């Protein structure tokens, strides 16, 4: 695992293990997560079935304009390195994304917040995708809340500390399909990656990786890139920029990337975000005596939207 810890979150003491992982590398794998295997397998199969549809069918649920958050993004539709201001060739992947699966119960007064609650686009050819992905989104929302409760405890805060900041969360879930290097129908550009180096933007990410095709790499504090090869049945968790800012850089939102795999590779990532209007500022327990906050307060939603839109390519 090259220093990526595996944590059974069903056991007592897991909060302390999570804290160490967050401080040292910002990545860990979780077992005992409670997400039913049937939910994971059905949604994984549905994603593969989607990417196996003819391109014309996939394009019927394509993001209707550059910057729309949900739907299909074809090959070369995104360059994640741009979120850090880096120039890079388009990422060699295609994706399908959804956002919240239920309409908000609150009145939206910020016109920009409408962006995060944009309608999901579902292909008519695959009714199983809608059903299985709704179940997965709900299960991972619950797991994210559970992990944030453990994180709060490890930061010497009440376990419910983040609850009011995530009760209207605008999380996104995305399946990614990476053509293998042997796929002669998809050229490989100089300097191209499956997913170029980036950090995630929100609170945390929960990822299921391909059991047969590795590719995820994490940059450690010594600047060495290491492979992440999670145990069977586990899920990979990493911190996003919001958590790094909340903890005054005590915890790490770590740079990571995906290599171009030898064969076709799939993953499904759940990008957990705080409420649109949640204020991301230094937590009271993360500011030592005489220390000042390293970051100015930001609203979670506009930060997320700006980062996302910077990565989108026109197609």
Provide the H-helix boundaries in 25-162. Answer: 37-51, 55-59, 127-154
* Residue 1: predicted pLDDT: 42
Supply the range of the domain harboring residue 102: 6-311
Q: Does residue 290 fall inside a structural domain?
A: yes
Q: Does residue 210 fall inside a structural domain?
A: yes
Instruction: Give the rounded percent of residues in the chain with a pLDDT score beyond 90.
Output: 77
Do 207 and 267 form a contact (C-beta atoms < 8 A)?
yes
| Model pLDDT for residues 49-91, shown as the tens digit of each residue | 999 999 999 999 999 988 889 999 998 776 665 666 666 778 8
* Residue 311: predicted pLDDT: 61
Task: Tell how strand 27-31 and strand 6-8 pair up.
Answer: parallel
Q: Which of 179, 184, 240 is nearest to 207 (CA)?
A: 240
* Residue 112: predicted pLDDT: 82
| Overall average pLDDT of the 115-136 stretch | 96
Q: Does residue 119 fall inside a structural domain?
A: yes
3-state SS, one letter per residue, for 221-289: CCCCEEECCCCCCCEEEEECHHHHHHCCCCCCCCCEEECCCCCCEEEEEEEECCECCCEECCCHHHCCC
Query: Residue 282 belongs to a domain with what CATH number?
Result: 2.60.120.330
CB count within 10 Å of CB 312 equals 18
Do 119 and 100 form a contact (C-beta atoms < 8 A)?
no
| Model pLDDT for residues 152-172, shown as the tens digit of each residue | 999 999 999 999 999 999 999
Q: What are phi and psi of 226, to 5 degrees?
A: -125, 150
* Residue 303: predicted pLDDT: 81
* Residue 273: predicted pLDDT: 96
Q: Does residue 18 fall inside a structural domain?
A: yes
Q: Which of 94, 65, 91 is nearest to 80 (CA)?
A: 91
Tokens of 97: 């994304």
Q: Does residue 1 fall inside a structural domain?
A: no
| Model pLDDT for residues 271-281, shown as the tens digit of each residue | 999 999 999 99
pLDDT class for 288, splitting at 50, 70, 90? confident
Q: Does residue 258 fall inside a structural domain?
A: yes
Highest average pLDDT, of 35-44, 183-192, 289-298, comes from 35-44
| Number of domains composing the chain | 1
C-alpha dihedral sign at 220, 221, 223, 224: negative
Q: Does residue 133 fall inside a structural domain?
A: yes
Tokens of 176: 């990614």
* Residue 86: predicted pLDDT: 64
Confidence (pTM): 0.94
Do 199 and 296 form a contact (C-beta atoms < 8 A)?
no
């Amino acid at each position: 695992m090259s220093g990526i810890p595996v944590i059974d979150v069903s056991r007592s003491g897991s909060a302390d293990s999570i804290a160490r992982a967050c401080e040292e590398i910002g990545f860990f794998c979780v077992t005992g997560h409670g997400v039913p295997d049937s939910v994971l397998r059905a949604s994984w199969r549905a994603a593969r079935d989607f990417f196996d549809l003819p391109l014309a069918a996939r394009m019927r649920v394509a993001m209707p304009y550059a910057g729309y958050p949900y739907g299909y993004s074809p090959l070369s539709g995104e360059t994640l390195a741009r979120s850090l201001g880096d120039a890079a060739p388009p990422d060699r992947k295609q994706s399908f994304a959804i956002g919240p699966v239920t309409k908000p119960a609150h009145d939206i007064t910020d016109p920009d917040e409408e962006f995060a609650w944009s309608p999901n686009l579902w292909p008519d050819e695959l009714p199983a995708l809608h059903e299985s992905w709704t179940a997965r989104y709900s299960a991972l929302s619950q797991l994210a809340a559970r992990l944030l409760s453990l994180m709060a405890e490890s930061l010497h805060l009440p376990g419910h500390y983040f609850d009011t900041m995530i009760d209207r969360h605008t999380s996104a879930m995305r399946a990614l399909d990476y053509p293998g290097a042997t796929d002669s129908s998809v050229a490989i550009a100089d300097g191209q990656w499956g997913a170029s180096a980036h950090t995630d933007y929100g609170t945390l990410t929960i990822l299921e990786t391909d059991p047969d095709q590795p590719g995820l790499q994490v940059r450690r504090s010594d600047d060495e890139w290491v492979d992440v090869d999670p145990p069977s049945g586990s899920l990979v968790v990493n911190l996003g920029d919001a958590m790094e800012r909340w903890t005054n850089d005590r915890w790490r939102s770590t740079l990571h990337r995906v290599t171009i795999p030898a064969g076709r590779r799939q993953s499904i990532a759940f990008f957990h975000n705080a409420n649109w209007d949640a204020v991301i500022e230094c937590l009271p327990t993360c500011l030592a005596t005489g220390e000042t906050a390293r970051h100015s307060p930001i609203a979670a939603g506009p930060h997320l939207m700006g980062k996302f839109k910077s990565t989108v390519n026109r197609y």
